[in-house]
Amino acid sequence: MFLIGVIGVITRRNVIVILMSVELILNAVNINLIAFSRLVGSVEGQVFAIFIITDAAAEAAVGLGILIAFFRNKETVLGDEMDLLKW
């Protein structure tokens, strides 16, 4: 199915606006799962996509919580400045 060839292109977004990019990557995986679920003709790929969406929601909540806590302490949101572990 040549549609999937185009879908694979979407999978290559990453880096920089990091959390949003993570959402993008999860979405690309979702598209792939659902495309294959349609190709195979079973509904299980969609079930897995639901679990991935759940994970994305949890990850976004926790990630943004960490971001807020970090901003409260350090007054920055740049990844370069996050060197708390580097002593």
Partner 1 sequence: MLDLVVFYFFAALAILSAILVVTARSAVHSAIFLITALLATAGIFLQLRAEFLFIVQIILYVGGIMVLFIFVIMLVNLDVAEHQLRFRRQAWIATLIALVMGAHIAMAIYVGRAGLPLASSAPPSSVLEPNTELVGRALFSSYMLPFEIASVLLLVAMIGAVVMAKRKV
Footprint of partner 1 on this chain (CB under 8 A)?
1-17, 19-21, 23-24, 27, 30-31, 34-35, 37-41, 43-44, 46-47, 49-51, 53-62, 64-69, 71-73, 76-80
Length of the chain: 87
Q: How far is the CB of 26 from partner 1 (least distance, A)?
A: 10
**Residue 55 one-letter amino acid:** D
Distance CA 79, CA 39 (A): 40
Smallest gap, in angstroms, from Cβ of residue 4 to partner 1?
A: 7
- Tokens for 85? 């572990």
Measured distance CA(15)–CA(2) in Å, rounded: 27
Nearest-approach distance from CB 29 to partner 1, in angstroms: 11
